[in-house]
Amino acid sequence: ATNIGPANILSIFAQSTAADGEVKLYNEVGAAKTAAKLIFHGKFGTADNHVHEFKIPAAGIYASDGIYADVTNVDFLYIIGTF
């Protein structure tokens, strides 16, 4: 998991380490993972090494407080947006 400063999320790429890769992004920094701050939850993959792109429509998702990324069964994650 990592913290990213305030951002507008436009696209999210991830590769699974196993079936059922999961990405959760929170509008906060730190590991609190407050349910009310959850701004994105994506599940993907049926096998190891599945790469998936989540395209966010229009202007994307704005995270005013920063982004905390929590991943499960994911080798890598990267976010495209404006920072």
Predicted pLDDT of residue 83: 81
Provide the pLDDT for residue 1: 58
pLDDT of residue 57: 92
Confidence band of 24 (pLDDT split at 50, 70, 90): very high
State pTM to two decimals: 0.89
Percentage of the chain exceeding pLDDT 90: 67
- Residues with Cβ within 8 Å of residue 14, at least 6 apart in sequence: 21, 23, 42, 44, 51, 52, 54, 71, 74, 76, 77, 78
Say what the pLDDT of residue 2 is.
65
Above 70 in pLDDT, residue 3?
no
CA 11 to chain centre: 9
* % of the chain beyond a pLDDT of 70: 96
Residue 51 DSSP label:
E
Q: What is the mean pLDDT of residues 65-76?
A: 92
